[in-house]
Amino acid sequence: MIPNASQGKLIVLEGLDGAGTTTQARLLAEVLRVEHNIRVWTTREPSEGPIGAQIRSILARRLSMGGNTLAALFTADRLDHLYSGGGVRERLNNGEWVIMDRYYLSSFAYQALSMSEDEKRWLFAMHQFCIQPDLTVFVDVEAKTSMTRIALNRGFHFELFETEDKLLAIREQYKKAITGLCKQGEVIHVISGEHPLKTVQKNILKRVKTRFLDGIYLASDEEQKILSRKEFRILRQRVEDELHLTFQGIIERSPSKNLADATQGNAGGSYSLEFFDENAIEYHVAAFLNRNRTRITSILAQTKAEGRERISDLQKICDSVFRYEYAEQPKLLGDKK
């Protein structure tokens, strides 16, 4: 997969049918547009393109196709969706955020279910030119919940993959695929979709904000700053220097704990956040910044009130923020003993 080097962010919502990803994609887009003034495009797979239309006929059992042929078709539709004019890449390059209702994780769960290891490698190879999402949120529901919701929504019109046994197996396959992709550097968060719609929305939003907005989005009343990757690296370095630790070290000490929830003081409602890589560390640092946002904002305001030179150098912000934090609250990270 190709990392997304564009200014826009690619966010993917995944889940079994009936997990509510379509509704959640719409809700998330609304919040990002209204509250954060971000240009957002929501889209879905199968796409509205010519291949997508054929896939829909296959899923509705109006057209027969072999399993591997369908897997190739899904990937073809995906690449068309990404690279055709007005598609995902073009919008990301224009700075738009793209929220996708399903992406390649679906293929690795649904199509890979009955594949041999060789076929899975083939499936993976077909995805070589896909753009890697900046964040994937898997909205996890039980197979039973999925079946109930499908029946309620569509009046017992079930598609190709929609039997309870199949959904049960697909859910397991999703989890395997998530573990595999996380090991390769993808950022995938699993949250429960069993809660009421608003709770799920809140949990998705929290992941998005922590990853893209709160953590690396510093704001006072009059000043806003979204940190670049380079700036972010300086921040991370600063945290590590000030606290005499490395985030990798922390992660390795308690790999089974839900670190993000621990550091953010969450009681639960979501689970299975796992950290494997640099992206996860970034997420962790973002969580730290999120918790200290009030202080960052107040320092920015104080500096301005005192008539000192406007802070343009991020290093100065880091110096102030982290010295302050270190003196005031030595145990900055919830799981650090």
Q: Which of 12, 16, 59, 82 binds another protein (CB under 8 A)?
A: 82
Q: Is 92 in the site for another protein (CB under 8 A)?
A: no
Task: At 105, list the tokens.
Answer: 């994780």
**Residue nearer to another protein on the CB measure, 72 or 168:** 72
Residues numbered 98-127 forming contacts with another protein, rule: CB under 8 A: 119, 122, 125-126
CB atoms within 10 A of CB 84: 13
Least distance (Å) from another protein to the CB of residue 160?
Answer: 13
Q: Is 65 in the site for another protein (CB under 8 A)?
A: yes
Cα gap 173→226, rounded to integer Å: 36
Task: At 97, list the tokens.
Answer: 């955020």
Cα gap 257→241, rounded to integer Å: 24
Cα gap 281→236, rounded to integer Å: 9
Q: Is 294 in the site for another protein (CB under 8 A)?
A: no
Least distance (Å) from another protein to the CB of residue 48?
Answer: 13
Least distance (Å) from another protein to the CB of residue 82?
Answer: 8
Least distance (Å) from another protein to the CB of residue 71?
Answer: 8
Q: Which helix (H) or strand (E) holds 299?
A: helix 293-305
Q: Is 84 in the site for another protein (CB under 8 A)?
A: yes
Residues numbered 128-167 forming contacts with another protein, rule: CB under 8 A: 128-129
Q: Which of 21, 54, 258, 279 binds another protein (CB under 8 A)?
A: 54
Helices 314-328, 229-243: axis angle to 10 degrees equals 30
Q: Is 324 in the site for another protein (CB under 8 A)?
A: no
Q: Is 43 in the site for another protein (CB under 8 A)?
A: no
Task: At 57, list the tokens.
Answer: 């006929």
Q: With contacts defined by CB under 8 A, name the span among 77-85, 216-224, 274-282, 297-305 that binds another protein.
A: 77-85
**Beta bridge mates, 218:** 225
Geometric angle at alpha carbon 24, from 19 and 27, rounded to 5°: 165
Q: Which of 31, 38, 56, 80 binds another protein (CB under 8 A)?
A: 80
Least distance (Å) from another protein to the CB of residue 74?
Answer: 9
**Residue nearer to another protein on the CB measure, 111 or 303:** 111
Q: Cβ contacts of residue 110 below 8 Å, gap of 6+? A: 161, 170, 173
Least distance (Å) from another protein to the CB of residue 25?
Answer: 23
Output the CA–CA distances (angstroms, integers) from residue 10 to 13, 90, 117, 183, 268, in the order listed. 10, 12, 29, 19, 26
Q: Which of 85, 155, 196, 268 binds another protein (CB under 8 A)?
A: 85
Cα gap 81→63, rounded to integer Å: 22
Q: Which residues bind another protein (CB under 8 A)?
A: 49-51, 54, 63-66, 68-70, 72-73, 75-77, 79-80, 82-85, 87, 119, 122, 125-126, 128-129
